[in-house]
Amino acid sequence: MQYIKRLGHSLSFVIAIFTGLTTSVHAADTSLISDAPTSAISLLDNETYDFEGRTIDGSAITDDGLFRCFNRRGVTIKNVTVTGSPRYALFARGCSSFTIENFTMLDNPDSVGGIRFDQGTENLSVTISGISATNQGGHALELWDVNGFTIEDIYAQDTEKCGLLVNRSRNGSIGRVTGIRNSQYDYGYATMRFANNAGPNLYVEKVYSRDSGRGLFTVSGSNGIEVNTVDIFRATIQGIYIQGSDDVTVNKGRVGLSGADNCLISSDSTNVSLGSVDCDASS
């Protein structure tokens, strides 16, 4: 399944050519955006929003996201910290050639979620890097209906639900997912979860999880997934749980000291391999 990495990157590149490089990109004047806006910030086509490390308080935003990308193309947002528990830090639907860089979510326990790519209208060619969420309500990062994506490192600590959740999305490459205490009390989730017919052609370089409900969880028709390495300890229930999924491979790594099963594959899953994973690691 090594073709996954190459195909995922290639598809993202091809989509970018047709959707994001046909017009000029401009630098938005982010100095005009308040540190505590009273209404959502709607992102515009072919604009780069560089906040140069500023913190934006989204406590006044109770509908959709503090930042919103609706049916846009060629948008970049970077170097920003969101606090104040807006409903979502960023909410996207129907966006293409969309880049998110160095996006931090800090102390948003009452949020519904962090970054959400919404279902219904496909999002194309998405690039995400440098995502960090600490003390976050809901999922740190959730994808729905994304075709062609690259995610580099994501760090999620003390999230109510997943660190990274991939739903009904395909042709994607993910780097390292690090999760600490993700979904400790809502056991349907995990540090890294694939669900709702996610796939095919999905690749993850590494899942590192500590003290979460689950470490790696694939479910509900997810298919065509390769995870290269896992390092999962002290999950509340299962370290790895493969349920209702097809064509899932975990190449190597270690899983240990979980509450019930370190590694569990349900009978309704097919073509599953855990390679050389040590499912009884002690340290």
Q: How far is CA 19 from CA 42, 105, 119, 219, in A?
A: 20, 28, 20, 32
Lowest mean pLDDT among 188-197, 224-233, 257-266: 257-266
Q: What is the pLDDT of residue 283?
A: 77
Q: Which fold has domain 3-273?
A: Pectate Lyase C-like (2.160.20)
Single-letter code of the amino acid located at 36: A
Report the pLDDT averaged over residues 211-223.
97
pLDDT at 108 over 80: yes
Q: Would you say residue 8 has pLDDT above 80? A: no
What's the whole-number average pLDDT of the chain?
Answer: 92
| Percent of the residues in the chain that have a pLDDT greater than 70, as a whole number | 92
Which pLDDT band, with edges at 50, 70 and 90, does 18 fall under? very low
Q: How confident is the model at residue 261 (pLDDT cuts 50, 70, 90)?
A: confident
Q: Is the pLDDT of residue 107 over 50?
A: yes
pLDDT in tens, 155-166: 999 999 999 999
Q: In which residue are the tokens 């047709």 written?
A: 18
Ramachandran region, residue 106 (left: φ > 0; alpha: ψ -120 to 50; beta: rest): beta
Is the pLDDT score of 19 beyond 60?
A: no
At residue 187, the pLDDT reads 80
Residue 23 pLDDT? 60
pLDDT at 21 over 50: no
For 141-199, the DSSP string reads EEEESEEEEEE--EEEEEESS-SEEEES-EEEEEEEEEEEEESSS-TT--SEEEESS--
Q: Is residue 25 very low, low, confident or very high in pLDDT (cuts 50, 70, 90)? A: confident
Percent over 90 (pLDDT), the chain: 87
- Annotate the chain with DSSP letters as a single string: -THHHHHHHHHHHHHHHHHTSSS--EE--GGGS-SS-SS-EE--TTEEEEEEEEEEE-TT--SSEEEEEES-BS-EEEEEEEES--SEEEEEES-EEEEEEEEEEEEETT-SEEEEE-SSS-EEEEEEEEEEEEEESS-SEEEESEEEEEE--EEEEEESS-SEEEES-EEEEEEEEEEEEESSS-TT--SEEEESS--SSEEEEEEEEESSS-SEEE-TT-EEEEEEEEEEE--SSEEEEE-S-EEEEEEEEEEE--SSEEEEE-TT-EEEE-TT-BTT---
Distances (CA, A) of 211 to 119, 238, 263: 30, 11, 15
